[in-house]
Amino acid sequence: MQSRRKQPEHRTRDRRGDSIRSQAAEQTRPQAIIICYSCKPGAGSERGAGWHWAKAAATFSDVVLITPSTYQAEIDAAIREFDLCITVRYVDLPERIHKMLRGHRFRVMVDYMFWQLIASRIIRQLEREDQIDVVHHVTWASDSLPSAFLASRAPVRIWGPIGGTTRTARGLYRYLSAKGKMDEVIRNVMNGFCRRLFGTRAATHATLIVALNRDVEVRWGQGRRPVVVESNTALETAELTAGDDIGESEFAHERTALFVGRLIPWKGLLLAVESLRHAPNWRLVVFGEGPDQFRAAKLAQQIGVEDRLVFRGQVPRSEVLAAFRNADALLFTSFHDSAPWAVGEASALGCPVLCLDAGGPALQGGRNAHVVSIEPAFTLPQRIGEQLQELCSRGTPDDSLRADRLPGLLREWYLGYDAETASSRSPTHSL
């Protein structure tokens, strides 16, 4: 574990242990705790967000990163490589709890709650031992599950980026299997209950709420705490350009749309396949695995588009990024994604993104987003197909989600949202 590097010339303390900030604000190094249930250098999605946000905070703060040891080797190596002021407290559940949860339907959620409980004890310990200025919950990005930051009494307590508020529109249930419909009902009931139980407490305890999209902003923007809208996506130029280029031959004969994600009902693969019927000169290349592959293949055969549907399975991230550099569009038909990294990656590489007006894809897609209204749902496949037909060129690379934007954002949040100012500030919005 990395030793924590103190910078006493930037901080002093009075006899009560209160922190006295330097008059030169730019020289202040806050003492920050960052909570990341998921964290891995070089990854995308939640794992990548955890690492990039912790790394950004370490450019101006002394950071204690609380995270599982799953990717300890990668995290320790990255800290050494970038010479970061990060101390890592690796938190894992006891083996007896793992055994108890094995095979449990809600194993991941229960695992997460136990993990947060252990992390909360570490936060209390750290706050007893030192003056902590900031406690920041980064991942998971859920507004319905508890967070260890509730144990903190630091002057700045940041919740997010968080998501999860968006629900599947009623008209989209026709694309769900019987199990998928039941899963959505259970999700809505459980998330609604947990959001009222845990989310409301977190929103009240936070001095700043960071929302992944407008749905989350609306949900939590009615309270006393300020809300900002900011994606958790953080893209590095080196990551985007990594890997061998697929080459033009892969996409030379037919216009190609990509589908990227888990092949589960609410990701909308069946809707994407049905839209091919209305886009006769397009094919769909699917990256990912899951139970909906069989249903999608069967539907493609029924409507006569099986020759334009290609399944590639689970592939390395570098191969997906290479596809984004050459494909004609990303067809992202998810029903309630909060802030999908695949959309941000595609847009950063100039790939047009065709998505629904639900959740966060439209914000992630930025200047390359082509948004299709869900209603009326009966004509949605036709309207998606027509939108594909109208796409005549690739987009322009969008760099609004680059990782180097984060240090400036976090510096403002960490130094500007303490308990006294939070109650007097009106909500601000980015993106």
Q: In terms of domains, do 261 and 201 share one?
A: no
Confidence at residue 23, expressed as pLDDT on a 0 to 100 scale:
42
> How many domains, in total, are found in the chain?
2
Residue 227 belongs to some domain of the structure? yes
Q: In terms of domains, do 250 and 209 share one?
A: no
Q: In terms of domains, do 53 and 157 share one?
A: yes
Q: In terms of domains, do 193 and 282 share one?
A: no
Residue 21 belongs to some domain of the structure? no
Confidence at residue 185, expressed as pLDDT on a 0 to 100 scale:
93
Structural domain that includes position 357: 245-390
Confidence at residue 257, expressed as pLDDT on a 0 to 100 scale:
97
Confidence at residue 7, expressed as pLDDT on a 0 to 100 scale:
41
Confidence at residue 359, expressed as pLDDT on a 0 to 100 scale:
92
Q: In terms of domains, do 272 and 321 share one?
A: yes
Q: In terms of domains, do 415 and 268 share one?
A: no
Residue 166 belongs to some domain of the structure? yes
Q: In terms of domains, do 219 and 186 share one?
A: yes
Q: In terms of domains, do 228 and 262 share one?
A: no
List per-residue pLDDT tens for the chain, 431 residues long. Answer: 343 444 433 333 333 344 434 344 445 789 999 999 999 998 888 999 999 999 999 999 999 999 999 999 999 999 999 999 999 999 998 887 767 767 666 677 788 989 999 999 999 999 999 999 999 999 988 999 999 999 999 999 999 999 999 999 999 999 998 999 999 999 899 889 989 999 999 999 999 999 999 999 999 988 788 999 999 999 988 878 765 565 555 666 689 999 999 999 999 999 999 999 999 999 999 999 999 999 999 999 999 999 999 999 999 988 999 999 999 999 999 999 999 999 999 999 999 999 999 999 999 999 999 999 999 999 999 999 999 999 988 999 999 999 999 999 999 999 875 544 444 443 343 33
| Three-state DSSP string of the chain | CCCCCCCHHHCEECCCCCEECCCCHHHCCCEEEEEECCCCCCCCHHHHHHHHHHHHHCCCCEEEEEECCCCHHHHHHHHHHHCCCEEEEECCCCHHHHHHHCCCCCHHHHHHHHHHHHHHHHHHHHHHHCCCCEEEEEECCECCCCCHHHHCCCCEEEEEEEECCCCCCHHHHHHCCHHHHHHHHHHHHHHHHHHHHHHHHHHHHCCEEEECCHHHHHHHCCCCCCEEECCCCCECHHHHCCCCCCCHHHHCCCEEEEEECCCCHHHCHHHHHHHHHHCCCEEEEEECCCCHHHHHHHHHHHHCCHHHEEEEECCCHHHHHHHHCCCCEEEECCCCCCCCHHHHHHHHCCCCEEEECCCCHHHHHHHHEEEECCCCHHHHHHHHHHHHHHCCCCCCCCCCCEHHHHHHHHHHHHHHCCHHHHCCCCCCCCC
Confidence at residue 223, expressed as pLDDT on a 0 to 100 scale:
75
Q: In terms of domains, do 270 and 384 share one?
A: yes
Residue 375 belongs to some domain of the structure? yes
Q: In terms of domains, do 224 and 258 share one?
A: no
Residue 395 belongs to some domain of the structure? no
Residue 123 belongs to some domain of the structure? yes
Q: In terms of domains, do 204 and 105 share one?
A: yes
Q: In terms of domains, do 132 and 215 share one?
A: yes
Residue 240 belongs to some domain of the structure? no
Predicted TM-score (pTM) of the model is 0.85
Task: Specify the CATH number for the domain of residue 66.
Answer: 3.40.50.2000
Residue 178 belongs to some domain of the structure? yes
